[in-house]
Amino acid sequence: MTGGPRLAGREFFATRTVGEALAGFRPARRTAVEEVPLAEALHRVPGAAVPAPGPLPGFARSTVDGYAVRAADTYGASEGLPSYLDLLGAVRMGAAPEVAVRPGGAVAMPTGGVLPEGADAVVMVEHTAETMPGTIEVTRPVAPGSGVVRADEDVAVGAPLVPGGRPLRAPDLGMLAAGGVTRVAVHARPRVVVLSTGDEVVPPETAALGPGQVRDATASALAGLVRDAGGEPVLAGIVSDEPGALEARLREVLPDADLVVVSAGSSVGARDETAGAVAALGDIWCHGLAIKPGKPTLLAECAGVPLIGLPGNPLSALVVFRLVGVPLVWRLAGCEAPPPEPSTRARLARDLPSAAGRLDVVQVAVRDGRAEPIFGPSALLSVLTRADGCIVVPEPATGLDAGTEVEVTLYR
Amino acid sequence: MTGGPRLAGREFFATRTVGEALAGFRPARRTAVEEVPLAEALHRVPGAAVPAPGPLPGFARSTVDGYAVRAADTYGASEGLPSYLDLLGAVRMGAAPEVAVRPGGAVAMPTGGVLPEGADAVVMVEHTAETMPGTIEVTRPVAPGSGVVRADEDVAVGAPLVPGGRPLRAPDLGMLAAGGVTRVAVHARPRVVVLSTGDEVVPPETAALGPGQVRDATASALAGLVRDAGGEPVLAGIVSDEPGALEARLREVLPDADLVVVSAGSSVGARDETAGAVAALGDIWCHGLAIKPGKPTLLAECAGVPLIGLPGNPLSALVVFRLVGVPLVWRLAGCEAPPPEPSTRARLARDLPSAAGRLDVVQVAVRDGRAEPIFGPSALLSVLTRADGCIVVPEPATGLDAGTEVEVTLYR
């Protein structure tokens, strides 16, 4: 990563655009590669392409029900003037052919059967007739290779069954199974340690709240986003606003973390405490993102471990983590381009003000192709749970007019 | 579900369009509701809306750093003519206010603090100055309610924290945590039993293949699609093409299944065997879908358990399961509208032929806004693993011209 200024006293830090943060904050850390069974490899990221141990399908294979033939024997065949071929036998599924195809001969083939020696094509049963026992009529010519896949047509030996650096999808698991690869070397799930702070914050299981107390909503929601990004969330509890408490806890969790996320208290004092603790342990790359909501965001690296200090409001924290944290979790697992998110186009139901030079993330409900912005203080989590998705108003824009077509990132 | 014809001998069955299948094949089965910890509830489907045990945030809460005031005391305030208010004290985070706000008074407030009695607004610190000890200047008027969220503004008591019937998203987990709900009643993951058939099919862990043998690719890939749809795949092994074997195995697996998927052998004989076995155990709703690839698809219900008979080629099987099986797995878990899939718009790089009356699903690679169709026999799994997504050419179309803008469903 490129260097950033260090904290000294209460200096001001670089405020960055989200684009700068995504392009510039790129810690080099990657998780180690481990072997997992195929059944657990879905959406995991192989460290490298997995080469095929052998060709696939492994033998010249019929793709139709019909007859294995020499293509030349069918040239000129038509409904009016069929080719007559001797029926020499039949191929059984999952078995070696017991007979070869000689000129003027044909062997009955099931879809998926092994092409017998001497044959170079399979004519579909629909273009044949067995009018006399022991003889078939072919009513259409076939070209060599027709009705057949070559022994290495799916994958050649040594060619990649699946690529490295991209999360494995369902069909990839099928391809690995076809190649006999039942254990896969994939990046370990990044361990994302979530630290909540704030004297007012209590655990979700707190039945009766004291005056001014709130249950920790952000940590559970962040855990969900981390899981969606292929990471392993580690909820490391709530740290008080007492001076030194956060720094001490950070020293404890850093050695076992691939990423630390500090869900900061929402007051100015709590935010200053986060910056101070982080500055004592590493380099702050930016303090302040040009985004609404989410301005008081801190990006840093401490002893090789990236750290994100999130704003105190749950809504702001989740908006920032989606935008900046999720791609980082993927990258820690070796995936440079996160999988695409669902989206849809819709027309803005009303005018949307925005300040130039700032990225605005607006929650919207989508109905019948219209995107209705959901306004409300970012202290309200319900703004987010009522939304179907969000739209991003880019930095240069000074607002969008009602009726504008916008791209809505949909939540799932 | 509506009734379908029963198998008798080798009659022909109803062939359906995909639209008919999605609208008409709607087994009533739903999984039972079970309680799971919040940390395991991501993407699970609550059986019903979860009501808030108490209001949220639970107290009138400041949304800014500043001073709690009576709004009326600030009316007419300006830079030139500030309102002067007596500073009466300060609110601490997570604690009850120790002082009330009387007319002409103000109390210092952190973001997230409890609004003291007597106050009806919080003025931002940016619009104040503490020029003399014990007195603050307010330079802008605030309206009642400004800088504050009401005690039940996020969620009122009894109102839903999260809706039923929709998979829980990350922010939903935060909302449940905020409400103190740490165990959630969700539909059990549908148990999807996958039966592979075919004498040529051997398990993926088979090191050395015999002549004509292929490893079971489809079951592993289906397991991935089932997991993506929130189901629990149960790979129940490979059944030989021997007459009666499939029927016997189906009788064994049906009692513990919410959905049975038969990955059929690819030959005509194997397909007939599937239809015969299923007809002996339940009602066949359709046999044959107007889709390419994927025509030899069977939809049935056996003793209240839906069953999908898939085509033998892995590519065809996965195309059909994505289209018909995935929404069914979601519905079994109580979710009527599956979460959205990622998609993008692109221009077709070449002409795409299609037959009217048939849905064509075409695999494509997407580069620079262009969708390049990947052609090849549906016996090739690599057609699917090389694709970034697919496009659907609807039944009425007779093909699409190069340059047409198409919607590509992207794989992730």
**What CATH number is associated with residue A175?**
3.90.105.10
What the block records as the tokens of A154 is 């799916």
Q: Is residue B2 part of a domain?
A: no
> What pLDDT score does B267 carry?
60
> What pLDDT score does A53 carry?
97
> What pLDDT score does B6 carry?
40
Nearest C-alpha in B relative to A222: B170
Co-location of A38 and A182 in the same domain: yes
CB nearest A112 (choices: B42, B216, B267): B267
Nearest C-alpha in A relative to B201: A94
Contact B412 A171 (CB under 8 A): no
The structural domain count of chain A equals: 4
Q: Is residue A6 part of a domain?
A: no
Last residue of a domain, one of A309, A332, A355: A332
Chains A and B: how many Cβ contacts under 8 Å? 318
What the block records as the tokens of B252 is 């064994």
CA dihedral sign, ordered B240, B243, B244, B250: positive
* Angstrom distance (rounded) from CA A157 to CA A170: 22
Å between B138 CA and nearest CA of chain A? 20
Co-location of A231 and A308 in the same domain: yes
Å between B168 CA and nearest CA of chain A? 8
Å between A205 CA and nearest CA of chain B? 6
Contact A94 B411 (CB under 8 A): no
Co-location of B26 and B39 in the same domain: no
List C-alpha distances in Å: B15 to B25, B139, B297, B328, B359: 13, 76, 9, 19, 13
Co-location of A197 and A297 in the same domain: yes
pLDDT in tens, A370-401: 999 999 888 899 999 999 999 999 988 888 99
Contact A175 B385 (CB under 8 A): yes
Q: Tell me the three state secondary structure of residue A381.
A: coil
Q: Which residues contact B9 (CB under 8 A, 6 or more apart)?
A: none
CATH number, domain with residue B197: 3.40.980.10
Chain A contacts of B176, Cβ < 8 Å? 204, 220
Nearest C-alpha in B relative to A200: B94
Give the DSSP per-residue string, B135-187.
Answer: EEEE-S---TTTTEE-TTSSB-TTSEEE-SSSPPPHHHHHHHHHTT--EEEEE
> What pLDDT score does A7 carry?
40
Co-location of A386 and A302 in the same domain: no
Q: Tell me the three state secondary structure of residue B235.
A: strand
Helix (H) / strand (E) containing A37: strand A33-37
> What pLDDT score does A268 carry?
66
Q: Is residue B72 part of a domain?
A: yes
> What pLDDT score does B13 carry?
60
Contact A212 B113 (CB under 8 A): yes
CATH number, domain with residue A394: 2.40.340.10
- Find out whether B245 and B238 touch, Cβ atoms under 8 Å: no
CB nearest B93 (choices: A175, A212, A378): A212
Q: B272: pLDDT confidence band, cut at 50, 70 and 90?
A: confident
Nearest C-alpha in B relative to A53: B207
CB nearest A58 (choices: B198, B209, B384): B209
* Angstrom distance (rounded) from CA B295 to CA A173: 24
What are the φ and ψ backbone dihedral angles of A21, each rounded to 5 degrees?
Answer: -65, -45
* Angstrom distance (rounded) from CA B250 to CA B395: 33
Q: Is residue A338 part of a domain?
A: no
Chain A contacts of B173, Cβ < 8 Å? 220-221, 223-224
Q: Is residue A154 part of a domain?
A: no
> What pLDDT score does A79 carry?
94
pLDDT in tens, B56-114: 999 999 999 999 999 999 999 999 999 999 999 999 999 999 999 999 999 999 999 99
Contact B382 A210 (CB under 8 A): no
HSE-CB of A173 using CA atoms within 13 angstroms:
26
Q: A335: pLDDT confidence band, cut at 50, 70 and 90?
A: very high
Q: Is residue B156 part of a domain?
A: no
CATH number, domain with residue B131: 2.170.190.11
Å between B344 CA and nearest CA of chain A? 8
> What pLDDT score does B4 carry?
38
Co-location of B167 and B48 in the same domain: yes
Q: B355: pLDDT confidence band, cut at 50, 70 and 90?
A: confident
Co-location of B208 and B290 in the same domain: yes
Contact A224 B380 (CB under 8 A): no
> What pLDDT score does B5 carry?
37
- Rg of chain A taking only CA atoms, in angstroms: 31
Chain B contacts of A341, Cβ < 8 Å? 342
Contact B112 A198 (CB under 8 A): yes
Q: What percent of chain B has pLDDT over 70?
A: 95
Last residue of a domain, one of A332, A363, A390: A332
Q: Is residue B363 part of a domain?
A: yes
Q: Is residue B40 part of a domain?
A: yes
Contact A381 B56 (CB under 8 A): yes
Co-location of B314 and B232 in the same domain: yes
Q: pTM of the prediction? A: 0.95
Contact A178 B215 (CB under 8 A): yes
Average pLDDT over residues A241-269: 90
CA dihedral sign, ordered B46, B48, B53, B58: positive
Chain A contacts of B231, Cβ < 8 Å? none
Nearest C-alpha in A relative to B182: A205
Å between B293 CA and nearest CA of chain A? 13
Co-location of A27 and A114 in the same domain: no
Nearest C-alpha in A relative to B319: A171
What the block records as the tokens of A13 is 């830090």
Å between A191 CA and nearest CA of chain B? 15
Contact B176 A220 (CB under 8 A): yes
Co-location of B214 and B125 in the same domain: no
Chain B contacts of A42, Cβ < 8 Å? 223-224, 227-228
> What pLDDT score does B262 carry?
96
Nearest C-alpha in B relative to A113: B212
For chain A, what is the mean pLDDT? 93
Contact B114 A212 (CB under 8 A): yes
pLDDT in tens, B331-350: 999 999 999 999 999 999 99
Residue A173 has pLDDT above 90, yes or no: yes
- Find out whether A18 and A290 touch, Cβ atoms under 8 Å: yes
Average pLDDT over residues B239-256: 94
Residue ranges with strand state E in A270-388: 283-287, 291-292, 298-302, 305-310, 343-348, 352-353, 359-367, 370-373
Å between B84 CA and nearest CA of chain A? 24
Å between B320 CA and nearest CA of chain A? 13
Nearest C-alpha in A relative to B43: A412
Q: Tell me the three state secondary structure of residue A298.
A: strand
Torsion of CA A250, A253, A257, A263, to 10 degrees: -50
Which domain covers residue A93, as residue numbers? 61-149
Helix axes A170-178, B218-228, angle to 10 degrees: 160
Contact A385 B162 (CB under 8 A): yes
Co-location of B86 and B141 in the same domain: yes
Chain A contacts of B223, Cβ < 8 Å? 39, 42, 170, 173
> What pLDDT score does B14 carry?
76
Co-location of B357 and B282 in the same domain: no
Average pLDDT over residues A127-131: 93
Strand partners, A56: A155
> What pLDDT score does A15 carry?
85
Q: Name the amino acid, one letter, at A291.
A: I
> What pLDDT score does B266 carry?
60
Q: Which of B93, B206, B361 to mutate to test the interface with A (most CBs of A within 10 A)?
A: B93
Q: Which of B38, B56, B99, B154 to mutate to test the interface with A (most CBs of A within 10 A)?
A: B154
CB nearest A224 (choices: B42, B111, B235): B42
> What pLDDT score does A13 carry?
60
* Angstrom distance (rounded) from CA B203 to CA B243: 21
Contact B94 A201 (CB under 8 A): yes
A38-75: b (≥16 Cβ within 10 Å) or e: bbebbbbbbbeebebebbbbbbbbbbbbbbbbbbebbe
Q: Which of A61, A93, A168 to mutate to test the interface with B (most CBs of B within 10 A)?
A: A93
What the block records as the tokens of B1 is 């579900």
Strand partners, A148: A62
